[in-house]
Amino acid sequence: MRTTAPAGIRTRLKQQLARAAGSVPGDGATLLIYHRVGGGTGDELDLATADFTAQVDLLAELPAGRVVSIDEATDRLAAGRRTPSTVLTFDDGFADVYENAWPLLRERELPFTVYLASGQVGGEMQWEGSTAKGAAGTGMSWEQLKEMTASGLCTVANHTRTHARPELLTTAELDACNDDVEQHLGARPRHFAYTWGVPVPHMEVALRARFRTSATGQVGRNLPGSDPARFARVPVRRTDPIDFFRAKLYGRLIPERAYARIVATAKAVGARA
């Protein structure tokens, strides 16, 4: 019988792993993956607002120029600079990000990217395997997206129109999302994130023709010479204590990689981590 590790166990494990982190900022661009904030579910991808507040407080205390837009981070890499850069990204476009994360980001003037599933705007966020177990979330409205982009802090990027499964990714899905965003926000997206973080090699030619970057779910930092069509990212989860979150910015991602190995081992023997 499968059992799910209690959140407290996962948090304590991460607290121990965080001790392996260094104190020197990781080189290159670290793209952090968020999904929901204060959505009221127990899913690992739905952060408590208080925990997200602690994270953005930490980020706001970093030296100027550490938290940057995805375009600034990409510019640095293209110029061959290994400058430590942190990029905040939010997948899908859940309304609770507008309600609970946006006020904090605006107050601290932290730039961020929303990878938008444009067909879900203003409606129920439902698709096969949709983020966060429990009650379905709702999507941001176009008016909310306009407010955020008008601030100059928010970049809206492409995450397909329907949150299409990787094997169903098509140019029609890409173009439909681009058309939606351009119609409502006045500019075509320049960046893309694969659904479920799964690369689709046969689509790379189409992606390179349309976007400056495409982000995967592969864990890692991006250095000069990294393929912009396969940017790595780093997930942020509900059970990440603040020291484990800090470790994502330091120490060559040693704690994050160690936790991933432990989860993979647990799943291999029939547990759900």
Cα–Cα distances in angstroms (integers) from residue 67 to residues 28, 30, 59, 266, 267, in the given order? 12, 9, 7, 34, 34
What pLDDT shows up at residue 265?
Answer: 85
Q: What is the mean pLDDT of each run of 10 residues along the chain (273 residues)?
A: 62 76 86 96 94 97 96 98 97 97 98 97 84 74 98 98 96 98 98 96 97 97 97 96 92 84 79 53
Handedness of CA 169, 172, 173, 177 (dihedral sign): positive
What pLDDT shows up at residue 245?
Answer: 95
What pLDDT shows up at residue 127?
Answer: 84
Structure tokens at 169: 């990714």
The CA distance from 87 to 110, in Å, is 9
The CA distance from 246 to 54, in Å, is 11
Considering only the C-alpha atoms of the chain, give the largest distance between any 2 of them, rounded to a whole number of Å: 53
What pLDDT shows up at residue 267?
Answer: 76
The CA distance from 216 to 242, in Å, is 24
Q: What is the pTM of this model?
A: 0.91
What pLDDT shows up at residue 271?
Answer: 58
